[in-house]
Amino acid sequence: MTHDANTQGNMPMLKRIVALTVLIFALLGTSAMAAGRTETTLADGWRFHLGAVAGDATLADVTSDGFDDASWQQVAVPHSWNKLGNYAVTRRSDANTTRGIGWYRLRFTLPGNATGKRVYLQFDAASIIADVWLNGRKLGHHEGAFTRFRLDATDAVRTGANVLAVRVDNSKPAPGSSTEFIVPISGDFFMYGGLYRPVSLIVTEQAHIDLLDHGGPGVYAHVTALDDRLATVAVLVRLRNRGMPGAYTLRTGVTDAQGQRVAGSEQRLRLPKGGNVDHGTTLAIDKPRRWNGLDDPYLYSLTVELIGRDGMVLDRVDQPLGLRTVAVDPNKGFVLNGRTMLLRGVNRHQDRQDKGWALSLADHQQDMALIRELGANSVRLSHYNQAEPFYDLADRTGMVLWAELGLVNLASIPGRADTPPQMKASAEAQLVELIRQNYNHPSVAVWSIGNEINNWSSKGLTPSNARPLLNALNAVAKREDPDRPTTIAVCCEVLPGDPDDGRDRTTGTADTAAYNLYYGWYGTGRVADAAKLGAVMEGYHREKPMLPIGVGEYGAGGAISQHTDNVDGGKIESIYRPQAEEVQAVVHELSWKSLKPLDFMWGAWVWQMFDATSDLREEGDSTDINTKGLVTFDRVTRKDAFWFYKAAWSKVPVLHLTGRRYVDRAYPVIDVHAYSNAPQARLSLNGRDIGMAACPDAVCVWRAVTLQHGTNALVATGGGQTDRITLSYTGPKRARHIRTGSLDGMMLARGPRYGSDNFFEGGLGFTLNPYQRELYASNEQRKPPRIVVGAREPQLYASWRAGTAFRYAVPLPDGRYRVTLHMFDPVETSPGKRVFTVTPGGGTPVRVDPVARAGGGMRAVTVELSAAAKRGVLTLDFKGEVGEAIVSAIDVVPR
Same domain, 687 and 761: no
pLDDT digit string, tens, across residues 755-784: 999 999 999 999 999 886 666 665 556 678
Interval 508-524: pLDDT, tens: 999 999 999 999 999 87
Instruction: Output the pLDDT for position 510.
Output: 98
Same domain? For 168 and 63 the reply is yes
Render pLDDT for 314-363 as a digit per residue (tens, 0 to 9): 999 999 999 999 999 999 999 999 999 999 999 999 999 999 999 999 99
* pLDDT-based confidence at residue 652 (cuts at 50, 70, 90): very high
Q: State whether residue 475 is helix, strand or coil.
A: helix
Dihedral pair phi/psi, residue 708, rounded to 5°: -80, 160
pLDDT confidence band for 446 (50 / 70 / 90): very high
In a shared domain, residues 27 and 50: no
Q: Which residues pair with 332 in a beta bridge?
A: none
pLDDT digit string (tens) for 169-189? 999 999 999 999 999 999 999
> In the predicted model, what is the mean pLDDT of residues 415-433?
96
Residue 452 falls in the annotated catalytic set? yes
In a domain, residue 145? The reply is yes
User: Does 572 fall in a domain?
Assistant: no
Q: Among 279, 302, 321, where does a domain finish?
A: 321
- Read off the pLDDT of residues 252-265 as tens digits, 9 standing for 90 and up: 999 999 999 999 99
* Contacts for 461 with CB less than 8 Å, ≥ 6 apart: 455, 501, 502, 503
Q: Are residues 771 and 883 in the same domain?
A: yes
Asked if residue 99 is part of any domain, the answer here is: yes
Structure confidence at residue 457 as a pLDDT band (50, 70, 90): low
Would you say residue 112 lies in a domain?
Answer: yes
**What's the pLDDT at 500?**
87
**Pairing relationship of beta strands 161-169 and 460-461 according to DSSP bridges:** unpaired
pLDDT tens digit sequence for 845-884: 999 999 999 999 999 999 999 999 999 999 999 999 999 9
Q: Which of 99, 2, 120 is nearest to 51 (CA)?
A: 99
pLDDT tens digits for range 562-613: 999 999 999 998 888 999 999 999 999 999 999 999 999 999 999 999 999 9
My answer on whether 236 and 203 are in the same domain is no
pLDDT reported for residue 36:
82
CA atoms within 13 A on the CB side of 838: 24
Reported confidence tier of residue 29, pLDDT bands at 50, 70, 90 = very low
How buried is 6 (Cβ within 10 angstroms: 0-12 exposed, 13-18 middle, 19+ buried)?
exposed
Rounded CA-CA distance 210/226 in Å is 29
What is the CATH number for 829?
2.60.120
At residue 451, what is the residue type? N
Quote the domain boundaries for residue 41.
36-209
Give the pLDDT mean for 279-293.
98
Domain final residue pick, 303, 321, 339: 321
> Residue 19 — very low, low, confident or very high, per pLDDT cuts 50/70/90?
very low
* Residue 565 covered by a domain: no
pLDDT at 54: 74
In this structure, are 186 and 115 located in the same domain? yes
pTM of this prediction?
Answer: 0.93
Name the DSSP letter for residue 112.
G
Is 150 strand, coil or helix?
strand
Query: Are 243 and 122 in a shared domain?
Result: no
Q: Is residue 359 part of a domain?
A: no
> Torsions phi, psi of 797, nearest 5?
-115, 20
Query: Of these residues, 404, 452, 828, 884, which one is catalytic?
Result: 452
Q: Which residues contact 313 (CB under 8 A, 6 or more apart)?
A: 34, 35, 36, 305, 306, 307
77-81: average pLDDT: 98
Task: State the alpha helices, DSSP H only, in 48-185.
Answer: 59-63
Which DSSP state fits 734? S
Indicate if 42 and 175 belong to the same structural domain. yes
Where a domain ends, among 183, 209, 235?
209
Work out the pLDDT band at 688, boundaries 50, 70, 90. very high
Structural domain count of the chain: 5
462 falls within a domain: no
Q: Are residues 53 and 197 in the same domain?
A: yes
Q: Does residue 18 surpass a pLDDT of 50?
A: no
Do 50 and 182 share a domain, yes or no?
yes
Q: Do 780 and 854 share a domain, yes or no?
A: yes
Above 60 in pLDDT, residue 31? no
Residues 40 and 26 in one domain: no
pLDDT of res. 759: 98
Instruction: Note whether residue 122 is domain-resident.
Output: yes
Q: Where residue 193 sits, what CATH number does that domain have?
A: 2.60.120.260
Q: Which of the residue ranges 8-17, 450-459, 607-616, 812-821 would you say has the lowest mean pLDDT?
A: 8-17
3-state secondary structure 160-183: CEEEEEEEEECCCCCCCCCCCCCC
